[in-house]
A and B are shown apart, each in its own frame.
Chain A
Amino acid sequence: AQSVTQLDSHVSVSEGTPVLLRCNYSSSYSPSLFWYVQHPNKGLQLLLKYTSAATLVKGINGFEAEFKKSETSFHLTKPSAHMSDAAEYFCVVTFTGNQFYFGTGTSLTVIP
């Protein structure tokens, strides 16, 4: 069965420190993976996506993620958190392009 797991429901970091949001998937197929960000009462904005090209993917706002097949992971990172990064982050995986699996979300708090 295919699924995606976000290991942390809440992450708090101090402004200027690194951010790590974890995502693992389970599947026997080759996935396409996405990270989306959602600010309060807003839709989801695509941060970055992996679709079988380079395993290190750079996205918007300084975020990047690395696809590690051996670990079935696609963790999202940013070297230095900004106050505006406080939001909900969703890891999404698809194997067919028709069906998408959402993680339960990670709420990021940035402490001034």
Chain B
Amino acid sequence: AQSVTQLDSQVPVFEEAPVELRCNYSSSVSVYLFWYVQYPNQGLQLLLKYLSGSTLVESINGFEAEFNKSQTSFHLRKPSVHISDTAEYFCAVSEDSSYKLIFGSGTRLLVRP
């Protein structure tokens, strides 16, 4: 069965510092990998996704994630965070033949001035 582990429930960081949010998954088949972001009192929004091809994927607001098959990881990184990046971030996995997403428990990114 698929599962997603986000080890860090909360990550505090100062503005303009780099950040990495960790995500590991388990699956016996090929997977698609996603990061979704949830701002306070809102629904989730897709941040970036890995389907195939280049293992490094980027979002329009400076986040990137790298698919590492050998380590079954899909960590999210940003070299310099802003106050506005404060949100909860969810890693998710789906099998390549399914629309069904399995979400991790989420990591709350708290950016301090």
A pairs with B = no
Query: B-contacting residues of A (Cβ < 8 Å)?
Result: none
Query: A-contacting residues of B (Cβ < 8 Å)?
Result: none
